[in-house]
Amino acid sequence: MSLRADQLQGTLLEQIIASFEKKSEGVEKLCELLNLGKDAVYRRLRGDTLLTPEEIGVLASAYGISVDNLIFRNTDSVIFTMNAISGKIVSFQGFFEDLRANIQDFGLLRDAFTYSASNEIPLFYYFFYPDLLEFKLYVWGKHIWDFGYLTNAPFRKNLVSPDIQRMGNQLMQSWLRQDCAEMWSINVFDNTLNQIEFHASMGGFEDFSDAFALCDALSSLSDHLYQMAETGKKFKPGTYPGAGSNFELYHNEMVSANNTIYLTSPAVRVVYHTFGSPNFIRSTDPRVCDFIENWIKTILQKSIQISTRAEGERQRFFQVVNRRIELTRKRLELFAESL
């Protein structure tokens, strides 16, 4: 079943206006995006004037709404978009701009909540420690995005420009404003630890001491995540949680998802899933959102909440994480002795 033009317009504008606390704020934004006066925008909201195809494209692009999802119903096909399809990622800045286009406004949505399931440290927590962020970008740039200048280059500090660090900090602020529930397995630190150890064994550090510094940063991150779980709040290292957004942490060894994120709010629902990590696909298709929402509910019922409660389980979880960091550090010491 497909929507008529007036139904499509009404549904599209309704979703957009609902994302604002006040209708007047939404109208002002529509005026800005469509380069129209308020009277012209209100005519479109009432349905007196139909949106042009160009106007529909502008609005759908600005708010990440799939027009196909609005038009076609009751089919077996679902719509995903992928950040790396429109053009190969050729710079760190390009990747961050993709991220910013997708999440910068999430923290401003009313009554929004984010669920995520992951076998790896969620990307946003690398933003807490610049050295960790630089190392992850180095790994992705060298091994995934195939940046030529990194082909034979070892890791070194100050690889990422201050502008990229600032962009990362802005993304982190958006993430910190978002209430969330996260489901982790005990292996959540293993991928990064393995990457550090691999590059250390292959001479992949310009200064070998940086490998130890990364382990130190992971230890600090583990301690900070423990504090977040203990307080049930998101906050930056070195700050007090105060009235920060809510942080629920669950332990589930059956979680096999590779960074699946589901954001739900009265205005919009969207699913992100890593696809050719760290690239991602996204969908606002209601059927995809319904499927993931039910999947998450099932996992949560079979998980142990280790934030704000279950202190013994929380301590055990992070003790295992810290022990794995220490084992990696000891193996690095053996590598260092052989240099």
52-104 pLDDT per residue, tens: 888 888 888 777 676 766 665 555 666 667 665 556 778 888 888 877 776 66
Residues 189 and 233 occupy one common structural domain: yes
Residue 324 has pLDDT above 90, yes or no: yes
Average pLDDT over residues 176-195: 92
* Domain of residue 64, CATH code: 1.10.260
* Rg of the chain over all Cα atoms, to the nearest angstrom: 22
Residues 58 and 92 occupy one common structural domain: no
Which of 70, 66, 94 shows the shortest CA–CA distance to 80? Answer: 66
Task: Establish if 121 belongs to a structural domain.
Answer: yes
Calculate the average pLDDT of the chain.
85
Task: Establish if 76 belongs to a structural domain.
Answer: no
Domain boundary among the residues 51, 71, 91 is at 71
Task: Establish if 294 belongs to a structural domain.
Answer: yes
Longest dimension (CA), the chain: 77
Residues 33 and 110 occupy one common structural domain: no
pLDDT per residue over 111-147, tens digit each? Answer: 889 999 888 888 889 989 989 999 999 999 999 888 9
Residues 67 and 165 occupy one common structural domain: no
Task: Establish if 45 belongs to a structural domain.
Answer: yes
What percent of the chain is modeled with pLDDT above 90? 41
pLDDT per residue over 300-310, tens digit each? Answer: 998 999 999 89
Q: Within 10 A of 149 (CB to CB), how many other CB atoms are there?
A: 8
Task: Measure the CA–CA gap between 221 and 214, rounded to whole angstroms.
Answer: 10
Higher pLDDT, 137 or 282: 137
Average pLDDT over residues 154-165: 86
Residues 192 and 137 occupy one common structural domain: yes
CA 16 to chain centre: 22
Number of domains in the chain: 2
Higher pLDDT, 217 or 270: 217
User: pLDDT class for 2, splitting at 50, 70, 90?
Assistant: very low
Average pLDDT over residues 254-268: 78
DSSP label at residue 170: H
pLDDT of res. 272: 87
Task: Establish if 66 belongs to a structural domain.
Answer: yes
Q: Which domain holds residue 331?
A: 81-338
Query: How does 310-338 read in b/e, with b if 16+ C-beta sit within 10 Å?
Result: beeebeebbeebbebbeebbeebeebeee
Task: Establish if 85 belongs to a structural domain.
Answer: yes
Token pair 């150890």: residue? 197
Residues 159 and 278 occupy one common structural domain: yes
Residues 17 and 165 occupy one common structural domain: no
Task: Measure the CA–CA gap between 113 and 121, rounded to whole angstroms.
Answer: 19
Are 259 and 246 in contact by the 8 Å Cβ rule? The answer is no
Structure tokens at 212: 């130890």
Report the predicted TM-score, pTM, of the whole model to 2 decimal places. 0.77
Residues 247 and 140 occupy one common structural domain: yes
Q: Within 10 A of 66 (CB to CB), how many other CB atoms are there?
A: 18
